[in-house]
Structure 1
Amino acid sequence: MSSTPRVNKYKSLRNVVTRLRDDLRSSSNGGVDFVLLFAYNRTGKTRLSMEFKDVGKKKRGQERDTLYFNAFTEDLFYWNNDLEGDSERVLNINDESKFFNGLDTLALEPIIEEYLHRYANFSFDILFGEKKVIFNKEVKNPRYREGNNEPELITKRNIKVSRGEENIFIWCFFLAICEKAILGAESYNWVRFLYIDDPISSLDDNNTIAIANDLTKLLRKLESTSESNEPIKAIVSSHHGLFFNVMCNELKKTSHKVYYYSSNDDYYFLQGTTDTPFFHHIATLAELKKAIGDGKLYTYHFNVLRTIFEKVSSFFGYDDFSYCLDDTNAMLHARALNVFSHRDSYSIYQPRPMVDDNKKLFSDIFEHFVTRFEIKLP
């Protein structure tokens, strides 16, 4: 492990942006292709991404040079809920943004759909002329009975998807646009940088890992498919330890820099590091510890903990995760982990909160594990 690296402090966000843009300078001048930033919430990550974008609009009189994803990206989509008729709920698109430059001409729908079906079970139609998105979903037919002529599933149209489903749709929309920019589509020939801030929202750990893997596959295309001499560069920032760890591991063989970013009332700080800040399982356990402390435990957390137990038991040469359990209550704890890990009725977008008894049970299993193995959590 390397010694603690120097912490650089900056008086303004503009100075931080200057440093980041210098890191991403031409590769022939020693620049890197990717910058990864870890920062906790409420440290100004989103403001930093907007400052980075604004600097690009002011350099040499150009209109812009950064395609970004952050909380403001989600604001480019807004609902018309048809509150009077309650029959046509559509997601409107703010087509004044250059984000949608290729909407009519670049056949984005198949790419969006390919990404979306990795995470979700609903579909969509983009009405290009009206700048609207309609969502559809197959649901159980209440009239279906075995042996009658009614179909088992029917398609509900013009539905309002959940907040998590909406976020994942917008993320897939962004990935489709990134693909077109990377391939040199004329509508996005102004893109020199991608700035991605916290794409993770309302997802379980399995989908968190899937999104990180999909993103790193896309980012690697920046190095190999750009027709220009200098490929598009990228910054990814996040507060999510597991997501950030996967990104670090997947990009560790690329040209990149990793920073811990923080701020106070007077300064902004960048601490560079060559070490992956979080080990996968430690990051996950830290998230579980926080969920216990906040009282925000959901049933899928049993599956997360069981997965860790399986890997730890395997590491020590045992075939069964019960190696990680308290001997006194092993049967009860094993049953809880098995039952709550194998039910398929828990939505990743609308997770089911644990009842108080299960919260206590989960906390007992967790505390025994971290105490027994003397795990120090951040």
Structure 2
Amino acid sequence: MSNMPKITTFKSLADIAVRFRSDLKDSDFVLLYAYNGTGKTRLSMEFKDRGKKGKKKGDTLYFNAYTEDLFYWDNDLEHDTDRVLKINTDSVFFNGFRELALEDKIFEYLQRYATVNFKIDYENWEISFSKEVPNPAYKPDNDKPETIVKSNIKVSRGEENIFIWCIFLAICELVIDGEESYDWVKYIYIDDPVSSLDDNNAIVVASDLSKLLQKGVGKVNVVISSHHHLFFNVMCNELKKKKCKRYFLHKNGAAGYTLRATDETPFFHHVALLSELKGLLPQENQTIHDVRIKTYHFNMLRSVMEKTATFFGYHDFSTCIHGIEDEVLYARALNLLSHGKYSIYEPVEMGDDNKNLFVKILSAFLKKYEFQLPEIITDEDTTQA
């Protein structure tokens, strides 16, 4: 156990925010991996609030779920034609927004991720979107154009999120370039910028972000938190030559939180996830009915198997259970039961039959692959913050 990364316990997210600020005195970056529902967004706000004491603007430019709330739709319910995204200009997020004319910077990023165009109306503080769409009147033998521009459209939720992200990247450029309107920014805190993106775009976002932020080394310190394993690992690899702290955050019920340093093991969270699943197995004095296994745990188990299959070079996760008894049944169960839209915020407990199936699959997997699974908390390697 002495070779395992150190775990530190914290009573509150505010205490972790203090820790991160201390880390950034001699580090350029803090990277944090945590599952959804752990408190990442609240932690970003605790960090921000620590910098507002006695200051009007604070010292942190942040991107999280609250950033997206600075924009809201006017759907033109009366005429259903002119839909625009409104801007809440009360936030310091938009300091100098009008004067600096950020459209070119925003579009430079946006064209990498989406095919929409936009226009900012600074008089009414609203954004209108347009997009090229197939022309229904076009035929190969007529002179109609193949595409037409559809204006004042309501873009998808994913396109809206990536547009707001591109605004944030443009503002980060201003911070790094020393623009006076953003000279109050000492820290940049980014929480889960890729929640609506596929894996390919997640890699592109991580790559673009790392290149931009590396230009700011020595000018601004950065915290990045995410539940997205691919995004997190790309950031770890891109920033590995910089002064960077890496952590895995785990919520420990009423006891608070644990923070495990993963400086040399950026893939630790996969093993930690499997360790957490192992903790669901019934103990000697428990029946299957006593074990609180939720429906979304099948999704988690499949995710672990997919990462294991990738590690071994397998084409399909089901290869991980090849050769064990009832492998066909187990593979079908994982395919079926891991595709439901199971929320970790409103978890539903499995029925006893599915619990039994889950336990059998997980036990067979753990028997076939002898992972060295850490305890999320241990008495001998935990220190009190």
Same fold, judged at TM 0.5 (above): yes
2:152, 2:45 → 1: CA distance?
33
Cα distance, 1:123–1:292 mapped onto 2, change above 3 Å:
farther
Cα distance, 1:33–1:86 mapped onto 2, change above 3 Å:
same
**2:272 aligned with 1:276:** no
1:216-227 alignment runs, 5 A limit: 216-223=210-217
1:259, 1:50 → 2: CA distance?
18
Deviations 1:82-112 (A, max 9, x none): 0110000000000110101121111211111
Aligned to 2:18: 18
Percent same amino acid at aligned positions?
53
Partners of 1:261 and 1:268 within 8 A in 2: yes
User: How much does 1:38 deviate?
Assistant: 0.7
The match for 2:189 among 192, 195, 198 is 195
2:143, 2:372 → 1: CA distance?
57
User: How much does 1:55 deviate?
Assistant: 0.8
Aligned to 1:211: 205
The runs of at least 4 aligned residues of structure 1 exceeding 6 Å deviation read 279-283, 308-311, 375-378
SS at match of 2:204: helix
Partners of 2:250 and 2:259 within 8 A in 1: yes
Aligned to 1:55: 50
Ranked by relative contact order (alpha carbons within 8 Å, sequence separation 6 or more), the top structure is 2
2:370, 2:197 → 1: CA distance?
25
One-letter amino acid of the counterpart of residue 35, structure 1: V
Aligned to 1:33: 28
User: How much does 1:219 deviate?
Assistant: 1.0
**2:313 aligned with 1:312:** yes
User: How much does 1:268 deviate?
Assistant: 2.2
SS at match of 2:254: coil
2:135, 2:371 → 1: CA distance?
50
Q: What runs of 5+ residues in structure 2 fail to find an aligned partner?
A: 273-294, 321-331, 340-360, 374-385
Partners of 2:44 and 2:191 within 8 A in 1: yes
One-letter amino acid of the counterpart of residue 312, structure 1: G
Partners of 1:192 and 1:232 within 8 A in 2: yes
Aligned to 1:256: 244
The match for 2:171 among 172, 177, 180 is 177
Deviations 1:310-334 (A, max 9, x none): 9938xxxxxxx79x989xxxxxxxx
Cα distance, 1:83–1:262 mapped onto 2, change above 3 Å:
same
2:129, 2:265 → 1: CA distance?
39
1:282-301 alignment runs, 5 A limit: 293-294=298-299
One-letter amino acid of the counterpart of residue 24, structure 2: L
1:278, 1:207 → 2: CA distance?
20
**2:15 aligned with 1:45:** no
1:60-139 alignment runs, 5 A limit: 61=55, 63-139=57-133
Aligned to 1:265: 254
2:158, 2:17 → 1: CA distance?
31
2:312, 2:159 → 1: CA distance?
30
Partners of 1:242 and 1:280 within 8 A in 2: no
Aligned to 1:338: none
One-letter amino acid of the counterpart of residue 68, structure 1: Y
1:197, 1:151 → 2: CA distance?
43
User: How much does 1:137 deviate?
Assistant: 0.4
1:11, 1:311 → 2: CA distance?
39
User: How much does 1:282 deviate?
Assistant: 9.6
User: How much does 1:13 deviate?
Assistant: 2.3
2:311, 2:371 → 1: CA distance?
19
Q: In terms of mean alpha carbon deviation, does 200-209 or 166-175 score higher?
A: 200-209
Aligned to 1:343: none
One-letter amino acid of the counterpart of residue 11, structure 1: K
1:342-353 alignment runs, 5 A limit: none
Cα distance, 1:62–1:94 mapped onto 2, change above 3 Å:
closer
1:75, 1:92 → 2: CA distance?
10
2:102, 2:3 → 1: CA distance?
47
Aligned to 1:232: 220
2:118, 2:220 → 1: CA distance?
30
SS at match of 2:52: helix
For normalisation by structure 2, the TM-score amounts to 0.72
Cα distance, 1:51–1:309 mapped onto 2, change above 3 Å:
closer
Partners of 1:195 and 1:234 within 8 A in 2: yes
User: How much does 1:377 deviate?
Assistant: 12
One-letter amino acid of the counterpart of residue 240, structure 1: H
One-letter amino acid of the counterpart of residue 242, structure 1: L
User: How much does 1:293 deviate?
Assistant: 3.5
One-letter amino acid of the counterpart of residue 56, structure 1: G
Cα distance, 1:198–1:178 mapped onto 2, change above 3 Å:
same
Partners of 1:249 and 1:276 within 8 A in 2: no
One-letter amino acid of the counterpart of residue 154, structure 2: K
Cα distance, 1:205–1:281 mapped onto 2, change above 3 Å:
farther
2:48, 2:112 → 1: CA distance?
30
Cα distance, 1:154–1:375 mapped onto 2, change above 3 Å:
farther
Partners of 2:8 and 2:260 within 8 A in 1: yes
1:272, 1:282 → 2: CA distance?
14
CA RMSD of aligned residues (A): 3.7
Partners of 1:2 and 1:275 within 8 A in 2: no
